[in-house]
Amino acid sequence: MRRALVLSALLGLLTGCAGTPDPSGTWINQAAIDAASKSGKLREALLAYGPNLEWRLDTRNQQATYSNGFEQGEGQLSQDPADKKRWQVAFYGSKQEALAVDGKQLVQVGSENWPEQRFARPEQQGPAPIGASFQRALYGSFLKGTWVIQEGQGQGAKVTFQADGRVEGMPGADRYALCLAGDCAAMSGDSDSIWLQQGRQGREYLFQREDDKLELFEAVNRAQADEMPEYAPGKRVWLLERD
């Protein structure tokens, strides 16, 4: 009899867990990554499928954190009392957002603040700064493979852009960063931009990626000295093609 009661309790617990999935963990905006990787237009994809790029949820401690690639927000996470399949995130200033698990996706329910967005689990789960999981997944997809310099310094060299932000084979650079949002996006206008750095020295370039062709241009500042930089594509510095 006692064994039957224990089994009944376990089944009830499992049924409850199945009916209300725990969303704890990291979720990334895979749709934005897929769109950017397919089209080659990074900022366009982020604007279309953003603005949020990553969620980090912790139901035990009632914490929710999101990143949009430039800034992050933290809120209090709680189960919706009217709908046990939904979760509420309350931010400072009484703003609230609703989240729900739909199969293998986390849905950020559309609101007056944001459109509906869908997020997926990253391949790698583990301790990392908020936004880092999205960045790693994007970097591992958008410029994946081996690129050969067809024009520019280092012609003929093979270049690989690593998921952790390292770049190998690029003259004068051992690190790179793609512009996702914030000041770098505002300064680049409609263009995509990339930062190339070696040691403590680095600079931005504007780029265009079409299928297996990657062009990097000088970022020409058209603003006045006392204004925020306003970059436009200048001379093409490199042409790379994916091997």
Domain segments of the chain: what residues? 23-131, 143-242
Residue 179 region by backbone torsions, left for phi larger than 0, else alpha for psi between -120 and 50, else beta = beta
- Cα gap 87→120, rounded to integer Å: 16
Residue with tokens 């996006």: 185
Alpha carbon distance 210, 42 (integer Å): 11
Span 98-127, pLDDT tens digits: 999 999 999 999 988 788 999 999 987 778
Note the helical H segments in 54-120.
none
pLDDT mean over 205-216: 97
* pLDDT, tens digit, 9 for 90 and up, residues 21-61: 899 999 999 999 999 999 999 999 999 999 999 999 999 99
pLDDT tens sequence across 152-189: 999 999 999 999 999 999 999 999 999 999 999 999 99
Of all residues in the chain, the percent with pLDDT exceeding 70 is: 91
CATH number for 23-131 (one of 2.40.128, 2.60.40, 3.40.50, 1.10.357): it is 2.40.128
Closest CA to 169 of 97, 243, 67, 118: 243
Calpha distance 13→211 (Å, rounded): 50
- What pLDDT is recorded for position 112? 83
Enumerate long-range contacts of 194-199, CB under 8 Å, 24 or more apart. 196/167, 196/170, 196/172, 197/173, 198/172, 198/173, 198/174, 199/174
Q: How far is the first Cα of the chain from the last one, in angstroms, to the nearest whole number?
A: 68
- The predicted pLDDT at position 125 comes to 72
CB neighbour class for 200 (10 Å; exposed up to 12, middle 13-18, buried from 19): exposed
Q: 3-state class of 83 per DSSP?
A: coil
Helix/strand/coil percent split, the chain, to 5: 20, 40, 40
For 84-103, write each residue's pLDDT tens digit. Answer: 889 999 988 667 899 999 99
pTM, rounded to two decimals: 0.89
Closest CA to 192 of 64, 8, 37: 37
